[in-house]
Amino acid sequence: MKHLRGSFNGPCKYPRFKKKGKHDSFTIDNCGKPIELNGWSHKLPFIGIVKTYEPMEARTKKSRQAGDWYLSCSYEFHSTTTPKKTHVVGVDLGLKT
């Protein structure tokens, strides 16, 4: 109702009807836990088992385009910096023996 009232009062537009099949997608977060079945495949509700090239521990989004389902993943990567070890080697080229 808030959006409907906002369309009459000013800044919002009237809510649009979203047709089935236009932008079919859904997101499964699973509280940060991997959604897996035997590690390499994922069981999706109403779709079945989807096989992947590697086990995923990420937020996944399933979408359908042209009758085919696609799986997109978003990872959170925390990089750690390693201290650089510097070893100095000196070579003296000015000596003749």
Q: What is the pLDDT of residues 38-85, one digit of tens each?
A: 567 766 655 667 777 766 665 666 677 667 767 676 666 677 777 777
The answer for 48, left when phi > 0, alpha when psi is -120 to 50, beta otherwise, is: left
Bridge partners, 69 (sequence order): 64
d(CA 14, CA 17): 10
Counting residues of the chain whose pLDDT is more than 70, the rounded percentage is 33
d(CA 56, CA 35): 8
| Residue 68: strand, helix, or coil | strand
DSSP label at 72? E
